Structures are given as structure tokens and as C-alpha cells.
Amino acid sequence: MARKLSYKMAVNEALDLEMTRDPTVILMGEDIVGGAGSPGEDDAWGGVLGVTKGLFAKHGARVMDTPLSESAYIGAAIGAAACGMRPVAELMFIDFIGCCFDEIFNQAAKFRYMFGGKAETPVVIRAMIGAGYRAAAQHSQMLTPIVTHIPGLKVVCPSNAYDVKGLLIQSIRDNDPVIFCEHKNLYAHEVDVPLESYAIPFGEAAIPREGRDATIVTYGLMVHRSLEAAEKLAREGVDVEVIDLRTLSPMDWDTVIESVEKTGRLIAVDEAHPRCSIASDITAFVAQHAFRALKSAPQMVTAPHSPVPFSPTLEDIYIPSAETIAGAVKKTIIQKMVAA
Amino acid sequence: MSDNPFPVDKAGLLEAYRMMKTIREFEERLHIDFAKGDIPGFVHLYAGEEAVATGIMMHLNDRDRIASTHRGHGHCISKGVDVHGMMAEIYGKETGSCLGRGGSMHIADLSKGMMGANGILGAGAPLICGAGLAAKFRGDGGVGITFFGDGAANQGMVLESMNLAAVWNLPVIFVCENNGYAEATSRDYGTAVKSYVDRGAGFGIPGVHADGTDFFAVYEVVGELIKRAREGGGPALLECEVIRFFGHFEGDAQTYKAKGENEYNRANRDCLKIFRAKVTEAGVISDAELDAIDGEVAELIEDSVASAKAAPLPSPKDLMSNVYVSY
Amino acid sequence: MTDERIKPLVMPKWGLSMAEGKVTGWLKKPGSAIKVGDELLEVETDKITNVVEAGEAGVLRRILGEPDTVYPIKALIGVLADSDVPDAEIDAFVAGYVMPAAEEGSEEDAAAQYEFAETPAGTLRYAKRGTGPEQIVLVHGFGGDLDNWLFNIDALAEHATVYALDLPGHGQSIKSLADASLSGMSKALAGFLDKLGVSAAHLVGHSMGGAICLRTAIDRPDLVKSLTLISSAGLGDEINIDYIESFAAASSRRELKPALEQLFEDPNLVSRQLIDDLLKYKRLDGVTEALKALAKNMFPGGKQSSVLADEAAGTKRPVTVIWGASDKIIPASHTAALPAGWRAEVIDGAGHMVQMEKAAAVNALIRQGVGV
């Protein structure tokens, strides 16, 4: 049966269920226990935002605080994965990936291929992504395109708690390294989530809104902004389809192409910077594979090519808004009218 | 034949010699064939450092893991990776240890506990912490050994890993193979302190030195560290001073070395010669017995080269296979 | 408004979570004479598109629901009245129509309208509607759940107390099957009825659920007053095993959709939401194993393992058999050799899910079989 559960607690529940099911699942990260070895409570924090709270009490030594040493513990998680464990390592903010990128893209991502298919690296690296937290330039980035670029990595970016639980369980059971991106501004968002365990296969986009006139392809927080834009446009008589990619690698190209072939218009919405982004990837793929279906030039809505600003006034305009998205949709339609 | 004064029985000594000789023969042969242009890419040869790999690996079995370096052939051979598979891998053939997808710098065989040679200097150190952690969770007494050179000893990830292994009390040995050169740059230029061993103290772990040209010195020192790690005593750092007979990579003119340096080392600091002298002078093993091994090893290497050359290349249709598990 | 000559047509509520529906088009013109069961208009919900059938007779005097427009449930979308009712009265009725307050019909409350019973087979979810003295129990088929009775439960509840359950391995009930055989499932149903204190009920079974009801009538005749068997298993040995296997194995939308389309005469009834809801169920740990175990026991070698009609006839309970003429899962030809005295009705324009595609007709037949 189902009940309302937050995005954050869906992460916690998926970890708990999989640790209970499989003794090789271990967790590590900075302050995921949050108090280890200190005079007060052992699990004072349960993660910097409390995502892993309670798991230490339940699973003990399988939940490990690490030194502030991303290179060592992310590498250790990968090494343990290559030796039969299923570690879930928390890289607190994806911005910290610079400190351990070698372990992720030169080691974990390449073992299977480079070792002739004879190595498995079932590691999950969880990281918070996204702006809007007043966390400034080094704690707010949307680095999904960087990890999506790397063959051998799977990249997951859920937009709601139902998908979080099913995709995180799949990530843990998957035999490839997975970068599991959690949008910190969605942690409080709640939807119905079954109590039971379930796994959502990778590479299957969701369509939270069907429509006839234009296709928005997006993921993460932008799914919600896009749905807001679609509601607004519906009141003006424009019927927009919204595709939530859910996983960026693998990518559900079939669903994107089928939708654009139906609507003839594409708006790719991405919270990442515009250059070499998920938005540009989608736009290029559609232009290459569904050019004849397009009734107007595809539009990209992205963050600007600038670091994430601190000042709230600036950060709020840095993140694409529903209004901007709606404007981009209209642009695809006005173009058509001009052309006609 | 007199009583055996060594810590290894005669069968073990013969095994160790065969291991060292196999590495030497393998590397010498690559040196020749690379110069002929038979081998794609580039190779980093381990010749001269055989006593370190062998002295350590004689203590290990398949449950123990090693994480190697770009100069990994010796570690692979002594950890039991198939020589034919290795040679075919270096030739880029479908029959290679990694189906020709990895090459010299990425030979691995997880079934033998060999977690891969590694093209990234120092990258084995975090990985071996994971291997040690897995062994600790399994409670099987397994240990992890990572190798790095005097150059990679200055990588942050190596130093971070020593700290992590120390705070998690992991069964891991960090082995610095100090051959005096970080690529072409002298060890003294790139490292401010005199001894890598001293760094152990900085992480609260034992730091021990061994003469890497002496199989017995390495064997005895590392044996204690491995025993300690297996029993839950935690990580340690071992520095082995070794000689790199060849350049950083094949084709390296080695003009940064002193005149006559290689010749002097080959004459006076060759670990194979030192080993042969010790075991024959003690009267435990005869020259004839060692010569017989030499002959068998030469045949093995010759056969591995012949079969590698004859082996099929990977099929272009398999370019994309094994990127992911399922798609 | 108490004028019984004027009958409002309102946006129906199909299932517990429906809050609104979109009128996609009218099938009757204003002024048409309408009989009970006539198809009036099509309504699309987020789960399914279906036809609204007339529950009462009259002349379609007003069409208020505009095509492609969304209305909340119970919104006035049309008016039926006899031809002698003056237009002015109808206009006054429309002007004065007050939408009944929604019975807190939001999704959150929908969840509370389900209940759970601890039975010997494990926790089972069920819905209970209505208060009549006769008790009807609706038993879904292979891979189904109580929402298969979306268009039946409320209509029947006006005349009887209606229970619809999720069988073990299905819906939101326990996913593990203690006994994945027909008799195991029958025992689970009997255990459910015993737990709820339902001592004698009219069992209505669809597909595999029909076979379970047959087995229950044979094993526990005390529990059963009558049987209504819809597109039922247990009446012949044919079964579309490709459907069973592809449904059990499907793990993606692309695999599941073609399987589901076989369930209906009109494959367009299979909406994205229907597929997504089924995938949510199928992806729960244990479901695939449960379905495969059931399929293995019920349909070994691609045939139905239990043909129970003759045995069930011995129980002397009244039986109504209903089939969709174009059923692609279990053929309607299984109605040909039923025991004497059993009523059989084959309905045109419907497939295996006849209780959804021709809900009004099926509801009428169920009521006749039950006698309410």
C-alpha cells in the first residue's frame, strides 16, 4: 500500500530496504552518521540534511562516516564494489566531484570495458545537485552533463519521491556504477509511495503530462517548473506534453522522438549551463533524428553560462522559471504561425 | 645440498625464482619486440624490480587483492595472471586477459585478486582501501596491497588513502617502489623528505624500509606487515628501493641517467643475480636447477609471443560491448 | 429540485481517485429519445476513456458538457426529461442546479476508503460499498485488482452491500503467495469472507477470479448464494497463454502495452495512465514471481488446468455466465457447453474486460443474477 512520502525520506527508505535485503550493501560518506567518535550522539546528523538519519541505529557498522577525504572514500567505495560489495557512497554535493573525479571517470566507469567485461563495479554515488538553496557557486551546481558524458556511468536524476525510491533501489541492484543525483530543493516534495520495495528500470522516461502541441523534455526540479508552465499554457489553449527523463544515461530517446513526432515542437529544459548540456544533447538528437517532424526551431531553456550566484535576487533569475519555459513554448508556436 | 637457512622451503624458492625469471624474460622480450614495432601503444617495463613483486606475492593467495601501477606486468605475473593472456593483451588481441580492450596499462584479473594495472598514478591506493574494507566485512582475513612509485607517492589520493586506511583500521599495505625516478625526474627533486618511510608516522601507521633488490629482505619485512594486517593490526607503509633497468617507457633514451648507471646496476644490483648467488652459495639449489627453470621460462615466453601474434584481433562489431552490463 | 420528471446527467465518478473527467464527445443529439443503457457520451479520465450509458430513460433535453472540456465529478453535463416538460422548467432546473458537495473526494481520502483485512493468507486490501441486505463479492482476475470493478462497484452498491478485494499477489494485498494454486486462492477468498463475517454472498468473478469463485462454490457451498462468472476461467480449457506470459514478463511500457490491448475490444481504452499504474504494481518486489507461479499452476502447458462447470453444477447454485463477444483471452465459445440451467449472455462490442467496456449491461445482469 502507499502513503505520502517525501523525496528525502524516499532516499532513506530505499537505502534501509536494500540494506535489510542485501548484507553487501554498505553506506559511506561525510557525516552520514554525523557524530561518530564524538562525545555526544553518534548519529547526531544522519547526513548534512538528515537524509540518512536512523540508518546507523538500525544497521550499525555498515553505515560509515568518512574523513573529509572524497578522493579516498569514493575510491574505496569503488574498490569495495569491485570486490563484491554494493557500496552507496554519498558525495555530499556534486560540486565536490572535482576531488574524486579520477576515481569516478577513470576507474569505476572504465573497469567493465577496460577489463574485457570481466569486472563489475556496482557502486552508487549519491550527490545533491541544483541551485536555489542560497548555497552559492560551489554547492549549487547542476553537473549532470559532465557525468552523462562519460561512457560506463549511469546517471539518474529523479523528480519525485516515487521515482527516487524505485530508481535508487534499481541503482543499488544494478551492476554498473550509478551517479544518483538528488535535487536538494525537492527533498520536502511529497507524493504517494508504496511501502513495498520496487525497482524502476533505467532508460524509461515518464510522461507526467500528455499533450498535443509541443514537447518539453526535462528532468529533476525542472519537471515541476515545466508542469507549471504547461498548466499556465493550457489556460491559454496550448496543450503541452512534458517528458521527465528520469535517467540521463541511459536516455530514453524513443519516448523523446515519438513525442516530437506527435507534437512537432521541442523545448529542452535543463538547469545546467547551456553549453554541452542535457538540453543541447536532446536538441541535437532530435534535430538529427526527427528533423522532418519539426514544425519550428527547437528551443533550449537552461541556466546561463555563469557560476551560480549567491545573492538571492540573482540566484532566482539564474534558475529557469515557469514563465521562461512558457515563453519558450510560445516561441515554438509563434514561429510556426510566421512560417505558415 | 645443505640445510636450508632461508625462510622459504626449497619448492617455494624455486617458485619465487620462476616468478622473477618469468617477469624478467617477459620484459626483456617486450623490450626487443617493442623496438621492432610489433607492439602498439606504449609499455612500461618492470625489469629490475622483480624481487619486490615476488617477495610480496609469495605471501598472498587469490582472496588477497592487489592494485597495481602503469608498470604492472611484474605484479600481474606474480599474482598469477596468465602469461599468454597478458602477452596477447599487450598485442591488442581478442585472446588477451581483457580481450584487448585494456592493453599493457590495464591488465586485470579479478579472479586472481588482481584489480588492474592503472594508468593513473596513485589511483590504486583508494581502490585497495575498498578491497581491504570488503575483506574486513567478509571477515576472511584477506589483505590488500597497493603499489605506487616514488613519483605517485606525492599524489593526494595516496596520502588520503593512508589516512582512511588508518582511521578504518583496514588490512592494507601501501608499497612504495622507489626506483629513483618519477618518469624522468629524480626522486630527490620531486620529494622534499629523505625517506618515504617517515610518512607513515604522519598517518599513525608503521613505515618500514626494505632493499628491493633482495627477495629475502622484502619477503621477511612484508611477511610481518601482512601477518599483522590479517590479524586486525591495520595498515602499514613499505618502501622498497629498487632499480629500473629500462626507461620510464619503451623508447625513452634515458639521457637523464648517469653514464654507466644501467650497466653498473645490471652488474651489481640485479635482484635475480643476487637471489641466484644466495641460494646456490647456501647450497640449497644448484645452478643447474635454476638453469632448467630459465629454459622453461624462455619457452613459455616464446610460446606466448607466438600465440599472441597468431591470435585474432577484436571484431569491429564488438567496439561497444561491455560498456554497460545490459545495454 | 425535487421534480422527478427532470433527471440530471452528471459527470460520473469512476473509481475512488477520480476527481474530474473530460467530455470528449456526445454520441446522442439533443432531442433524442433515450433508453436505459444507451450510450450518451464519452468521458476521458486520467485512467481510462469510457462511454457514459444512460441510467434512466427520457429525452435528452439539454447538452451542457462541452467537448474537450474538463468537469468535476457530479457537475451537471446534461438533462433528461420527458418531452412534455416545458423548456422553462428545464432552464430553471439548470439555473438552480447545485453541485452536491464532494464527499471529500480527494485522493487522500480515497486511500482511506480502502480497508485492509488480516486473513490467513496475509493482509488483503478491499473496498466495501453500500448497505443492502444482499452481499456481493467482486473477485478480479490474473494480474488485476479491485479497480477492475471501477464501473460496477458503485452501481451495484445502490442495491446491495458490495465487497471488492485484491487477491493475494495482487493490487495492494500481500505479494507473496502461500499457495499459488486455484484451491490456494479459493482458500484465501474463503478466509477473507470468514474474516469479514460474510456468511453467504453472491460471488462475482472475472477471468481467473471466476475459476476461484467456482472452486469456492464447490469447496465451501455454505459461503455462496449465487455465481456470476464474467469471461471466466474454469469453463473450458482454452486460454491465450501468450497474453498470460507476456503480461507476467513485461517490465516496460513498450512490452506491456500490446499485451493490455488484447484485453479490450477497443485497444484505445488502454491509456498511458492505465499502463503506468499496472507497471507500478508489476514492479513491486515479489509480484513477477507471484504471477509466474500462478500462471504455472493455473495454465500449465498453455491450457487451463481446471474445468469446473460440471462439478459446480452439483452445488445447485444459480449461475450467470457473461462474456464479451470478442474476448481474445478466453474465448466466448466456452459458453457453448454450460450445464443445464445456467444463464449465458454474450455481449457484442466488448472484449475480455466486458465489465468495463459494457458496464451498464453487465451491472444489469449481475443484479438479475443476485436478484436485487
Q: What is the pLDDT of residue C105?
A: 46
Q: What is the pLDDT of residue C46?
A: 73
Classify residue C283: in a domain, yes or no: yes
Closest chain B C-alpha to A67 CA, distance in angstroms: 7
Q: What is the pLDDT of residue B210?
A: 98
The neighbours of chain A, by the rule of 3 or more Cβ pairs under 8 Å, are B, C
CB atoms within 10 A of CB A278: 29
Helix C287-298 and helix C208-219, axial crossing angle in degrees, nearest 10: 60
Domain around B209 = 10-81+112-304
Nearest Cα residue to A108 out of C63, B116, C199:
B116
Please list the alpha-helical segments (H only) found in chain A. Answer: 7-21, 55-59, 70-82, 101, 109-114, 144-148, 161-173, 221-235, 253-263, 278-289, 312-318, 322-339
The per-residue pLDDT for range B1-20, each reduced to its tens digit, is: 568 999 999 999 999 999 99
Query: Please, what are the domains in chain A?
Result: 2-194 (3.40.50.970), 206-339 (3.40.50.920)
| Domain shared by C61 and C171, yes or no | no
Q: What is the pLDDT of residue C339?
A: 94
| Domain shared by C198 and C314, yes or no | yes
The per-residue pLDDT for range A250-269, each reduced to its tens digit, is: 999 999 999 999 999 999 99
- Counted domains in chain B: 1
**What are the residues facing B109 on neighbouring strands?**
B114
Classify residue C90: in a domain, yes or no: yes
Classify residue B90: in a domain, yes or no: no
The per-residue pLDDT for range B273-282, each reduced to its tens digit, is: 999 999 999 9
What residue type is assigned to position A209 of the chain? R
C-alpha dist (Å) from residue A91 to A73, A175, A181, A271, B119: 9, 19, 10, 20, 24
Residue at which a domain ends, from C96, C126, C155? C96
The single-letter DSSP state of residue A46 is S
The per-residue pLDDT for range A138-149, each reduced to its tens digit, is: 999 999 999 999
Classify residue B324: in a domain, yes or no: no
Q: What is the pLDDT of residue C1?
A: 44
Q: What is the pLDDT of residue B133?
A: 98
Cα B204 to chain centroid, rounded: 26
> What is the C-alpha radius of gyration for chain B, rounded to an integer number of angstroms?
19
- The angle at the Cα of C104, spanning C102 to C105, to the nearest 5 degrees, equals 75
- The list of chain C residues with pLDDT below 70 reads 1-3, 15-17, 101-112
Nearest Cα residue to B90 out of B31, B141, B138, B133:
B31
The per-residue pLDDT for range B112-137, each reduced to its tens digit, is: 999 999 999 999 999 999 999 999 99
Q: What is the pLDDT of residue C102?
A: 54
| Domain shared by C174 and C259, yes or no | yes
Classify residue C92: in a domain, yes or no: yes
Q: How confident is the model over B170-176, as a mean pLDDT?
A: 98
Classify residue C73: in a domain, yes or no: yes
* Mean of the per-residue pLDDT values of chain B: 96
| Domain shared by C200 and C264, yes or no | yes
CATH value at residue C35: 2.40.50.100
Q: Which residue, among C68, C173, C174, C253, would best test binding to A if mutated, counting the most A CBs under 10 Å from its CB? A: C253
Cis peptide upstream of residue A250 (ω within 30 degrees of 0): yes
Residue at which a domain ends, from C96, C121, C139? C96
Contact B325 A112 (CB under 8 A): yes
Q: Which residues, 6+ apart, have CB-to-CB distance to B3 below 8 Å?
A: none
CA distance C90 to C81: 8
| Domain shared by C68 and C131, yes or no | no
CA distance A76 to A104: 11
Given a contact cutoff of 8 angstroms between Cβ atoms, the answer to whether C53 and C38 are in contact is: yes
| Domain shared by C124 and C16, yes or no | no
The per-residue pLDDT for range A159-183, each reduced to its tens digit, is: 999 999 999 999 999 999 999 999 9
What residue type is assigned to position B11 of the chain? A
Classify residue B107: in a domain, yes or no: no
The single-letter DSSP state of residue C284 is B
Classify residue C252: in a domain, yes or no: yes
CATH value at residue B175: 3.40.50.970
pTM of the model: 0.91
Question: Taking phi first (over 0 means left), then psi (-120 to 50 degrees means alpha), and beta for anything else, what does residue C302 get?
Answer: left
| Domain shared by C16 and C115, yes or no | no
Please list the alpha-helical segments (H only) found in chain B. Answer: 10-35, 50-57, 73-78, 83-90, 124-138, 156-167, 187-190, 199-203, 215-230, 261-268, 271-281, 287-310
Of B109, B123, B144, the CB nearest to A106: B123
- Counted domains in chain C: 2
Interface of B with A in 89-148 (CB under 8 A): 96-102, 106, 108-111, 115-116, 118-120, 123, 125-131, 133-135, 137-138, 144
Domain around C168 = 110-370
Interface of A with C in 62-121 (CB under 8 A): none
Classify residue C104: in a domain, yes or no: no
CA-nearest residue to B115 within chain A is A82
* Mean of the per-residue pLDDT values of chain A: 96
Neighboring chain C residues of A262 at a CB cutoff of 8 Å:
none
Classify residue C247: in a domain, yes or no: yes
The neighbours of chain B, by the rule of 3 or more Cβ pairs under 8 Å, are A
Residue B187 has pLDDT above 70, yes or no: yes
Nearest Cα residue to A303 out of A281, A323, A320, A326:
A320
Q: What is the pLDDT of residue C35?
A: 87
**What are the residues facing B182 on neighbouring strands?**
B185
CA distance B261 to B241: 15
Classify residue B321: in a domain, yes or no: no
Residue at which a domain ends, from C74, C96, C118? C96
Q: What ipTM was estimated for this complex? A: 0.96
| Domain shared by C90 and C191, yes or no | no
Neighboring chain A residues of B99 at a CB cutoff of 8 Å:
116-117
Classify residue B54: in a domain, yes or no: yes
Q: Which residues of A are catalytic?
A: 139
The single-letter DSSP state of residue A198 is B
Q: Which residues, 6+ apart, have CB-to-CB distance to C23 below 8 Å?
A: C11, C41, C42, C43, C65, C66, C67, C68, C69, C71, C77
CA distance C371 to C133: 11
CA distance A96 to A92: 7
What cell was used for C72? 468535476
Q: What is the pLDDT of residue A340?
A: 47
Q: What is the pLDDT of residue C271?
A: 86
| Domain shared by C31 and C174, yes or no | no
